[in-house]
Amino acid sequence: MKQRFRCKRKTILLVMILGPVFFIASACFMFANRPHPGNPLPGGSEDLSWVGDRVFLGSCEQDADPSDGEEPVLWRVLQYKNGRMLLLSEYGLDVRPFHPRFEDVSWETSEVRSWMNTDFAAALFKDRGAWKEEYLLPVRCESASNSYYGTDGGAATDDRVFLFSTEDTFNEAYGFPGPCRIYSGFTGRDVLYSEVCLARVCYPTLYASLKSALITRKHDFREDPNGKLIDGFGSVYWILRNPGMTPGYITYVSRWGRTTCDFPSPVDHDESCIRPAVWVDAKKLPFKKLGDGTYCVREDGDYVDECRRAVDYGAAIQYELKHEETRPASGLTGRNMASSLGSAATLLGNPVPGGTPEGEWEGDRVYFGHFQDEPILWRVLHVDDNRLLLLSEYGLTKHRYASSKNRTALWSESEARRWLNDTLFYELFSKSEQAAVVVSTIQNPPNPRYGTGGEGPTKDRLFYLSYEESMNEDYGFSGGEYPCESNTRICGAFGKRAKTEKKMYGKRDISGNPIWCDLSASAIWTLRTTGFTDEYVCDVTRAGDVYHHEQRPKNYKFYVRPALVVDTDLVEVIADEALPFPVLRTGA
């Protein structure tokens, strides 16, 4: 979707001409008196910002006004060693898909690699003459396999211009905060990933913003590991060269500076920015110091003057967004949405009992919390005076119910229960959102067909639905004495690209309606009821059937579709013009 800003370019440039020194205002004194660029502050600053030197090199269109020529490109100096210098562009310079078609592809075979090393590089460095021979160094680029999914990264390549790898984005020697660990259900081991942080946040140039870049168009905060809130306003995604869940997906850095390894983007996605990296022979680049920590590598007086007048494009984008013409709100989606702001208890209603005559689930949906930097969509299963029962619209990720070493598949003893409440809960919700989630008393009756697994109630904030709840007509699911395929229970897998057209599965529900199911994008999701023995657990199939044998081993990894209860006195319903459904907002 094209984003068209309406402010006059010349006015913005006059307002935003700040000079390169704006980048170094908070830098340490250690950078003040260098005769040439040096290495950045390892791991970033205490507030997880990037602190280091910057260099102007090359030119390209950035202010979206071709009439005044191209602007000098600003780069972060990530490493300076033995006369070699690694640079990463300060801004997202362009918007382009990794590959023009949704198909299996690696960095080696991608269209973006070919473009970056030919047309893009030739245009970016044309002011330096024979840039290939003079100073831009060929380097060996390894494309590591995806650490979470194990997807092969393809063959190593020799490139002069390249995209960052996931490992580069949390390399402390480059000035970025170091990695954390997350358990991969696919590889069965802990893998490295990164948290949100200012050091990895990227803003587009004005030129890139006029293309299809997905820009955070409102003040939207995420909490970094130190508890500091990061405002993503004006920021963009920037793509990396590692593969995602399959070779048809890639990894990227989110608008809040989080490197994703477990929620990748399709290769033909055209809303993320290109942030190139290069290695240069610094011995062939005459440095001119412009200010504390900022350098220019061309002796041409006009170029130096342009560098001194450089625009802070992060501030320029935020300025334009603040002054952009206000668009009408999209309105709330649901049957009782008369206002864009109000009480969840009065604005949200119960779903259609048993689903529609066509066999579909129909009810209100709301956004609440975030998963992998994306808002989570929930179905409203039940509303009373001060409680909302919610079920995630999508299967968020895969996780086993219990280890094969566990004696039983009882919910109270399950690994899934501990993980949901001790780990996932804190990943999905901010502190104020956590306070709005009720600690619910969960009943755990035995399997109604086999009599297995009955136990006393548990107290949980996140939980799986039970066998009976997955067929509760009051929750909008199809019922009956015996479960069967139902569109009301079909669940999409978070991050998978479902076909836009419906695909017939070949069976019908109890009312004779055809089952529409895209098997490539739907999820098997786990229930909390044991199966035909206490060693097994129930689940819902891709076609919406409560698995009629109920004998999936408890250590199988199926999708997690959590449920929770929200206190309506602690949330309000608001309309977000950027989202198709309303949002449950807490006090902060």
Average pLDDT, rounded, for the chain:
83
Q: What is the pLDDT of residue 245?
A: 81
Write out pLDDT tens, residues 89-124: 999 999 999 999 988 999 999 999 999 999 999 888
Q: Which residues contact 235 (CB under 8 A, 6 or more apart)?
A: 201, 202, 203, 215, 216, 255, 256, 314
Taking 50 as the threshold, does the pLDDT of residue 460 lie above it? yes
Average pLDDT over residues 323-332: 40
Output 88 or 256, whichever has higher pLDDT: 88
Q: Compute CA distances 500 → 41, 321, 436, 516, 517, whole Å.
A: 47, 32, 35, 12, 11
Q: Where are the beta strands (DSSP E) in 84-237?
A: 84-89, 94-95, 136-137, 139-141, 157-159, 161-162, 180-184, 189-193, 221-223, 229-231
Q: Residue 328 has which token pair?
A: 């009408």
Average pLDDT over residues 568-575: 89
Taking 80 as the threshold, does the pLDDT of residue 142 lie above it? yes
Give the pTM.
0.61
Q: 100-128: b or e for each residue (b if 16 or more CB lie within 10 Å)? A: eeeeebbbeebbbbeebbeebbeebbeeb
Output 347 or 387, whichever has higher pLDDT: 387
Q: In which band, very low, low, confident or very high, does the pLDDT at 85 lie, cut at 50, 70 and 90? A: very high
Output 586 or 30, whichever has higher pLDDT: 586
Q: What is the pLDDT of residue 490?
A: 92
Contact 539, 559 (CB under 8 A): no
Burial of 285 (0-12, 13-18, 19+ CB in 10 A): buried
Taking 90 as the threshold, does the pLDDT of residue 476 lie above it? yes
Contact 411, 577 (CB under 8 A): no
Q: What is the pLDDT of residue 514?
A: 86
Domain-wise residue ranges, the chain: 9-25+37-323, 341-585
Counting residues of the chain whose pLDDT is more than 70, the rounded percentage is 84
Task: Provide the 8-state DSSP code for 185.
Answer: T
Write out pLDDT tens, residues 261-319: 766 678 888 889 999 999 999 888 888 888 778 998 776 778 888 898 899 999 999 98
Q: What is the pLDDT of residue 587?
A: 63
Residue of 568, 566, 522 lying closest to 545 (CA atoms): 522
Output 387 or 126, whichever has higher pLDDT: 387
Average pLDDT over residues 464-490: 90
Q: Residue 128 has which token pair?
A: 């330096």
Q: In which band, very low, low, confident or very high, does the pLDDT at 180 lie, cut at 50, 70 and 90? A: confident
Write out pLDDT tens, residues 19-75: 433 443 434 334 444 567 899 999 999 999 999 999 999 999 999 888 888 999 999
Residue of 401, 424, 93 lying closest to 262 (CA atoms): 424
Q: What is the pLDDT of residue 156?
A: 93
